Structure 1
Amino acid sequence: MLYATAGLLDVLVEFATDREPQEANVPLAATPAGELTGTDDRLADIGPDTSVLTHFYLPDAGGAVSSVFGVDLGTPSGGAQARFVSHPTGPLAVTKEDDLAGAVLVAVPPWDAEKIRAFDRRGTGVELVGLDAEPPVESIE
């Protein structure tokens, strides 16, 4: 089972809509469930150390440096635990052309957060649960 905040799923669908007819390809990061706030009763059931996908990284961030030096500045040094890809012409599955991660979320038109599907790195379907929760507010001092 894979968990993600409902807010993240909504943003990913908006991103896929904006990118169409091109594919979206976005690294995702997780936050431990114990650090989330929200009214979703399922938060108490999944345990505080369970990873919940909460953030995405803009795919074009650091593009100039990556092009010149081969360094990916768009993803933090801790890496991304998952990836979101959209397939504007299908299929609703992981393809050989997709960048892989520990988990891959895939969306196809019509764009709807409820229709995003999750897969492991082998392309096997995994249950995706959207949680009504928010990650902690981060600030730079």
Structure 2
Amino acid sequence: MVHITRGLATALLGFAEEAEPESFSTGLGTTPAREFEVDLGCPPETPIFTHFYHPDAGGSVSAVFGMDFSTPAGRTHGRFVSHPQGRLAVAITDDLHATMLVAVPPWGIDELAAFDRRGARQPLEIVEAEPPLETL
């Protein structure tokens, strides 16, 4: 089972719609269920997708060095990709992660699905809770 907050799902679908006809791809981070202020009804260690690392952050540094310095190493537990002209499935051209969230037009919650890196569809649960506030 893959868990994602409604807020993150809505934001990702919005980015995908704005990027159309191009695809949109970004790394995703999780927060353990135990860190939420409300009981989510799942084990405390359950990873909940709560945030993303914007692909344009650190773009000038990445362009010079050819590496993505905007995403902390080991911090992305999944990847969101949009397929504006594609199927609701993992494509061989996607930057694969252990968990893949894929969306297709018309960019609604029903057009968002979770997969493992081999492309097998996974159950997706939308979490109706706000993630904990993070401080720097």
Q: The TM-score by the shorter chain falls in which range?
A: over 0.9
**Normalised TM-score (structure 2):** 0.94
% identity of equivalent residues = 50
Superposition TM-score, scaled by structure 1 size: 0.91
- In the alignment, what sits opposite 2:43? 47
Partner of 2:121: 125
Which residue of the partner structure matches residue 71 of structure 2?
Answer: 75
Partner in structure 2 of residue 8 of structure 1: 8
Amino acid at match of 2:85: T
Q: CA RMSD in A?
A: 1.2
1:90 aligns to 2:74 (yes or no): no
| Aligned-partner Cα distance in 2 for 1:97–1:14 | 22
Which residue matches 2:31? Answer: 31
Specify the SS of the correspondent of 1:91. Answer: coil
Runs of 4+ in 1 over 2 A off after TM superposition: none
Of residues 95, 105, 114, the one that matches 2:101 is: 105
Q: Distance in 2 between matches of 1:26 and 1:135?
A: 19
What secondary structure, in the 3-state scheme, does the structure 2 residue paired with 1:27 have?
strand
Structure 2 counterpart SS, 1:95? coil
Residue correspondences, number: 136
Q: Which amino acid counterpart does residue 79 of structure 2 have in structure 1?
A: R
1:66 shift after superposition: 1.1
Task: Structure 1 unaligned segments of length 5 or more: list them.
Answer: none
